[in-house]
Amino acid sequence: MRIPRRDDARAEYALDLFARFGLQLLTVAPLDAKARVTEPYVGTYLPVVKNKKTNRSELIEITADAIPELAS
C-alpha cells in the first residue's frame, strides 16, 4: 500500500487499522524521511549500510527505544 507523503491523516488511519488487525508492516524510507507519522508504530529500524571493505550491503538492527540514545 502506498500512502501519499503529505497525507498524514490517511497514513495514521491506515496504521491504526493495521495495528488493530495485528499486521506487521514494512516501511521503506530514506534516512532523511519526514515520515514522522510512522514513529509511534515502529519497533525496530533496519538501516541498510554499505561495508566499504567488502563492498556489500548489510542490515543493522536498531530498536526504536535505542534511537534517542544514539542521537544524544
56: in domain: yes
pLDDT digits over 15-67, tens only? 899 999 999 888 877 766 666 778 888 888 888 889 999 999 999 898 888 87
- Specify the pLDDT at position 68: 75
Residue at 30: amino acid letter: P
Q: Which three cell numbers stand for residue 64?
A: 526504536
53: in domain: yes
- Specify the pLDDT at position 17: 92
41: in domain: yes
For 45: left if phi > 0, alpha if psi spans -120 to 50, otherwise beta; the answer is beta
Q: Which three cell numbers stand for residue 36?
A: 514522522
Domain that holds residue 45: 8-71
Euclidean distance between CA atoms 68 and 72, whole angstroms: 6
Cα–Cα–Cα angle for 11, 9, 7, rounded to 5 degrees? 70
62: in domain: yes
pTM of the full predicted structure?
A: 0.61
1: in domain: no
- Specify the pLDDT at position 1: 58
Does residue 4 have a pLDDT over 70?
no
67: in domain: yes
The number of distinct structural domains making up the chain is 1
The secondary structure element, H or E, covering residue 62 is strand 62-63
